Amino acid sequence: MQVRDIMTESLAFCPPEKTLDEIARMMVACDCGAVPVVDPETQKVIGIVTDRDIVCRAVAMGGDPAQLTAEDVMTMPITTVSPGDSIERCVAEMEVARVRRMPVVDDQGRLCGMVSQADIARVAPSAETGRLVHDVSKPTDHASHVQ
């Protein structure tokens, strides 16, 4: 089975100058937790903004989501896979990068889909899905508790 068999093809994406409050509204409207950031000229993926990026890199730091943009908080560089990659390779890349969602790009690096943990869970054996969730969810060394 290949990435193309399970990826979501219709997805929200934004340019780097999109404000975080606009991105948050996109997430609500599209029922998603991650929005790839795409260069408007090349259509290549240059980063990704997750709901966690908005909370941890903007709101928790006292930033104004109406003033901050995708470029200010996006995760980059990002790991991507291709539609022809195997599901196993996608899972391995997600584990190494410790991400819950993986952008899918064509041969020119243009966004063409997204694979999530849920997509993997629908098709992968239970043990593989469990390993992915375990590996992606490991706490980071710099994690601390805010009181």
Domain range summary for the chain, segments of one domain joined by +: 3-136
Indicate whether 138 pLDDT > 90.
no
Strand intervals (E) in the chain: 34-38, 45-50, 101-105, 111-116
Segment 14-23, tens digit of pLDDT: 999 999 999 9
Positive or negative, the CA dihedral 124, 129, 131, 137 is: positive
pLDDT, greater one: 16 or 130: 16
At the topology level of CATH, where does 3-136 sit?
A: CBS-domain (3.10.580)
Q: Residue 41 to residues 4, 46, 123: CA-CA distances in angstroms? A: 25, 12, 35
Q: pTM for the full model? A: 0.82
| Cβ-contact 120, 8 below 8 angstroms | no
* pLDDT score of 146: 35
Indicate whether 109 pLDDT > 80.
yes
